[in-house]
Amino acid sequence: MSAFNAIGEEREIDRDEFTPSVEPQPTWCPGCGDFGVLKSLKQALPEVGKTPEEVLTVTGIGCSGKLNSYLDTYGFHTIHGRSLPVARAAKLANTDLEVIAAGGDGDGYGIGGNHFIHTARENHDMTYIVFNNEIFGLTKGQTSPTSPKGHKSKTQPSGSAKTPIRPLSQSLTAGASYIARTAAVNPNQAKEIIAEAIEHDGFAHVDFLTQCPTWNKDARQYVPYIDVQESDDYDFDVTDRREAAEMMYETEDVLNEGTVLTGRYYVDEDRPSYQEEKSAVGELPDQPLAERYFDEDAEWERSYDLLDRHT
């Protein structure tokens, strides 16, 4: 019998199960796009058949970091920028867990940028949602890595001299096997994309546009948007790396000029996840490591048996 009975449990799951029945109430501002991420997760998880107890949500710091306070799953609210290394190790230690990491654009593309590159490179089997509102919210409105060039804030009063980061292109270059962008103002698409990302075997990166009504009133990122899969103007093959790269590049150029494209940009179902690769070279046990600690029949090797080489 498994020590983790919540994992793989098959039953009808109500989305209300994901809402904590007592405090805390979200501290997000009225009109905040973060509500959209929370809502789409609550809808997507029951749809893909996940119970609250088999899901581990790992978050960073900032408004986005509070996601798992308002979502009733197992949660690890870590520190700024460090959600990914914590999340991917949890998955390696118990490959049966459904691991979802989330953080903001400062958290994920700034301070956690290095982890982002390497987690995508290794193609860890997990979902990564970046709340992208082009601003630091909880620290009160400073320029973030996705803020447009020329963006004025208290820390860049003359306007930012920096070109914003290109999260989709960077993700593709690094090696993510599922890359999409969605927006809080497009809840139906958001739910679908999050569900797909969760079901994808590999690193699924979702750049989730979330409006910040308090600190980023001028940003036009969220209206109007065009769904690239629905529009006849954008015909490209999401499984073709080169075409996807071109589409991303175009999108990222115009993102701050009023046209916002959302949808799936790259989907590679063939690339094995890191867990599969590691297993293939014999570096990941078949039985989830965490299970073994509860397995009474498990044999534990001893260092005593290694001493031959020292005598």
Partner 1 sequence: MSSDELIWRIAGGSGDGIDSTSQNFAKALMRSGLDVFTHRHYPSRIRGGHTYVEIRAADREVQSRGDGYNFLLSLGDSFARNPQEEAYYGNEEIKPLSENLDDLREGGIIVYDEGLISEEDVEAIDLEARAEENDWHVFPMDLRGLAREHGREVMRNTAGVGVTAALLDMDLEHIEDLMSDAMGGDVLEANLEILHEAYETTREEYEFEHDLRAPEGSHETEQALLSGSNAIAYGAIDAGCRFIAGYPMTPWTDVFTILAQNFPDMGGVSEQVEDEIAAAALALGASHAGAKAMSGSSGGGFALMSEPLGLAEMTETPLVLVESMRAGPSTGMPTKPEQGDLEFVLYTSQGDSSRVVFAPSSIEEAYEQTRLAFEIAWDYQLPAIVIYDQKLSGENKNVDVEFFDREPKPDLGSTLTEDELAEAAHDASGKFKRFNYEDAENNVAPRSLPGQKGGRYLATGNEHSPVGHISEDPDNRVAQMTRRIEKLDSIREELNEEHESNQTYFGDDDAEYGIITWGSSHGAVHEAVERLNESGHSVKGMSVSDMMPFPETEVTEFLESVDEAMVVEMNATAQFRGLIQKELGRFGEKMTSLLKYNGNPFEPAEVVEGYEVNLADDDREPTAQVRIEPAAGD
The residues of the shown chain that bind partner 1, judged by CB under 8 A, are 3-7, 20-24, 52-54, 56, 58, 61, 66, 68-69, 72-79, 82, 85-94, 96-97, 114-115, 117-118, 278, 282-285, 287, 289-290, 292-294, 298, 300-304, 306-307, 310-311
Say how far apart CA 137 and CA 277 lie, in whole Å.
Answer: 38
Nearer to partner 1, 161 or 281 (CB): 281
Nearer to partner 1, 196 or 291 (CB): 291
Nearer to partner 1, 122 or 192 (CB): 122
**Distance of closest approach, residue 297 Cβ to partner 1, in angstroms:** 13
Taking each helix axis from N to C end, the angle separating 241-254 and 167-174, rounded to the nearest 10 degrees, works out to 160
Nearer to partner 1, 50 or 181 (CB): 50
**Distance of closest approach, residue 135 Cβ to partner 1, in angstroms:** 21
**Distance of closest approach, residue 171 Cβ to partner 1, in angstroms:** 16
Say how far apart CA 57 and CA 69 lie, in whole Å.
Answer: 10
CB neighbourhood size of 77 (10 A): 15
Contact 174, 120 (CB under 8 A): yes
**Distance of closest approach, residue 196 Cβ to partner 1, in angstroms:** 23
**Distance of closest approach, residue 107 Cβ to partner 1, in angstroms:** 13
Say how far apart CA 139 and CA 290 lie, in whole Å.
Answer: 37
The contacts of residue 74 (CB under 8 Å, 6+ apart) are 52, 53, 55, 56, 57
Distances (CA, A) of 53 to 109, 214, 238: 29, 34, 33
Nearer to partner 1, 156 or 279 (CB): 279
